[in-house]
Chain A
Amino acid sequence: MVHVKDLSVTFRNGRNVLHAVRNADLAIADGEIFGIVGTSGAGKSTLLRTVNLLQKPSSGSIIIDGVDITGAKGQELRRFRLSVGMVFQHFNLLYARTVAENVAFPLHIAGKTKKEIDARVPELLDLVGLSDKSSVYPSTLSGGQKQRVGIARALANNPKILLCDEPTSALDLETTNALLDLLGDINRKLGITIILISHEMAVVKKICTKVAVMSEGKIVETGNAYDIFAAPVHPFTRQLVEHTLDLELPPRLLKEVKGSLVKVVYRGEKAEEPVLSDALRKHAVHFNVLHGKIEYINGKPLGVLLIDTIGDKEEIQKAIDYLKTRAESVEVIHG
């Protein structure tokens, strides 16, 4: 359990004062994949770095498994850091060492014997799918492979918590997806708590179970990933998730709508029921789906459809009323 309590980080540079993090509170349960999202400069990275004290908080505290580690120093701090792995946006690998030596580095720091290291390194490389690259130097690897080395290295000492600082922001879409799948697998296999920051909602949507949204140093909203996407409360969150369910119809189609244009929003289990065909069977209308999108967040669907409902006026109204009982929301946009 990671508890961040009333935490603030303030940077002073001469007369300039920057409040990077303001009064942040977080409670992250064991085994969660917790996402922190926000635009760049929102203070996400600073907040994440306080969890392993790479950044000293100006006030507030970090409590991990009931132990307040905020004031840890020297040997105590180094021992604590062995239980927290970290993955970086720009990988931060040792370029003078091979892949295997990079993975061995944290083990070496932890004082493991050569025998223990030799046994553990192949396991880790196997976990991230890089067994065949053990003796090459990082400069010859692709971005995705470098990050896999970064992940293997971060997991070397069996940490309880894995901090991921924009782990996919330097990678292309395909590599990003493969890497997020890997992080998800690792979370399931090892039960490790993952705290991940990203400026991309797509990353959060794919693997996070819980999300905190940051804006200008403040956490403006926290909740289940699904709820954040389905029903954002804070204006900033709304703006972030807007495009997720934003459907725009070409003007030509809008003009040619024959009946009533209806926007149907689905959430959760309701989205998995055959609502439309049920409505068609009960009412004498035709549906023409003009636009639609179904997102899966943590495997749960969240969808929106734009439907041209064609038929007798009365029947259309009845069909809409029926849809209202079955879907999350039904809105008549036109006609």
Chain B
Amino acid sequence: MDKQYVLSLLADLVKAFGETFQMVGISLAISIAAGIPLGLLLYVTSKNLFWENRAVNVVSGFVINVIRSTPFVILLVILLPITQKIIGTTIGPIAASVPLAIAATVFYARLVQASLCEIDRGIIEAALSFGASPMQIIRDVLVPESMPGLLRGLTVTAISLIGYSAMAGIVGGGGVGDLAIRFGYYRYQTDIMFVTVAILIVLVQAVQMGGDAIAEKTNKK
């Protein structure tokens, strides 16, 4: 292996990981901003809660299920026209972030809902008995009390996103998935594929451990 080759390989890797981070970062930020409110909506409109609303609950649950049951590769293709409208192109990591963000948001919303369900209803009742308003309960009870669960869900979402972002490479999103396929599969450069996978393993481990550590720190139970 000559020096030139290693250097160009390194440059490709850096670029690919940069794109992956970009895709995961944008989608993760959107899934926090949209997934938490959506999860809260699912929870507070459920039975016997303060904004109980069967119609809203069923419709939002159904939409989430539809998106979640669509295989991600298909979702990528279906959303191409929408991506074109929003971003102006369908190529590149920013364009790939559109389907990634949508998939991650509905995925995270379900995890948010699940961790909210873990809160003892008695605590919500206590807050109501002190005259708390629904918004106060959301801000001061639901979110802080479910924080460890919200963070664990975010870790799971981030790791899924790393995996999904590799698929986004197929439609021109770039990133490590694209790199591994182009070099490792089409060009038979298995060394690149192994390096990529090794880096991904380290990355996923780091995210999981970091997420667990932060979640544990917020857990006062």
Contact = CB atoms under 8 A, between A and B. Distances in A.
Interface of A: 52, 54, 77-82, 84-86, 88, 90, 92-97, 105-106, 108-110, 137-139, 153, 156-157, 163
B220 A96 contact: yes
Contacts of A93: 123, 126
B207 interface: no
Given A92-B120, A93-B123, A81 B129 contact: yes
A81 B131 contact: yes
**Counting chain A CB atoms within 10 Å of each CB, which of B128, B131, B132, B221 scores highest?**
B131
A163 B126 CA distance: 12
A148 to B, nearest CB: 15
A54 B131 contact: no
A94 B120 contact: no
Nearest to A74: B133
Given A78-B133, A97-B144, A92 B122 contact: yes
Interface string B18-43: 00000000000000000000000000
Given A54-B125, A88-B122, A137-B220, A96 B133 contact: no
B145 A95 contact: yes
B141 A52 contact: no
29 contacts: A54-B125, A54-B129, A78-B132, A81-B129, A82-B130, A85-B130, A86-B126, A86-B130, A88-B125, A88-B126, A93-B123, A93-B126, A94-B123, A94-B140, A95-B145, A95-B220, A95-B221, A96-B147, A105-B140, A106-B131, A108-B140, A109-B127, A109-B132, A137-B220, A138-B220, A139-B221, A156-B130, A157-B130, A163-B129
Contacts of A156: 130
B84 interface: no
A77 B140 CA distance: 19
Interface residues of B, number: 21
Contacts of A110: 131
Given A81-B129, A81-B130, A109-B136, A94 B122 contact: no
Contacts of A163: 129
Nearest to B120: A92
B218 A92 contact: no
Interface of B is mostly: helix
**Counting chain A CB atoms within 10 Å of each CB, which of B123, B127, B130, B221 scores highest?**
B130
Contact of A96 (B126, B127, B145): B145
A81 B131 CA distance: 5
A94 B221 CA distance: 10
A168 to B, nearest CB: 16
B131 A79 contact: yes
Given A88-B122, A108-B140, 14 more contacts: A54-B129, A79-B131, A81-B129, A81-B130, A81-B131, A82-B131, A85-B129, A86-B129, A90-B120, A92-B123, A96-B144, A105-B127, A109-B127, A109-B136
B125 A92 contact: yes
Nearest to A136: B220
Nearest to B145: A96
Contacts of A81: 128-131
A84 B140 CA distance: 20
Nearest to B148: A96
Contacts of A138: 220
Nearest to B141: A94
A52 B129 CA distance: 7
A7 to B, nearest CB: 18
A94 B144 contact: yes
For the complex of A and B, the 4 pairs showing the least CB-CB separation, nearest first, are A81-B131, A92-B126, A92-B122, A106-B130
B73 to A, nearest CB: 40
A113 to B, nearest CB: 16
Nearest to B136: A109
Contacts of A106: 130-131
A163 B140 CA distance: 23
A33 B120 CA distance: 29
Contacts of B221: 95, 139
Nearest to A107: B130
B132 to A, nearest CB: 5
A106 B132 CA distance: 8
Contacts of B122: 88, 90, 92
A166 to B, nearest CB: 12
A77 B130 CA distance: 10
A139 B221 CA distance: 5
A67 B144 CA distance: 36
Interface string B41-68: 0000000000000000000000000000
Interface in B112-129: 120, 122-123, 125-129
B139 to A, nearest CB: 11
Contacts of A80: 131
A156 to B, nearest CB: 8
Interface in B199-221: 218, 220-221
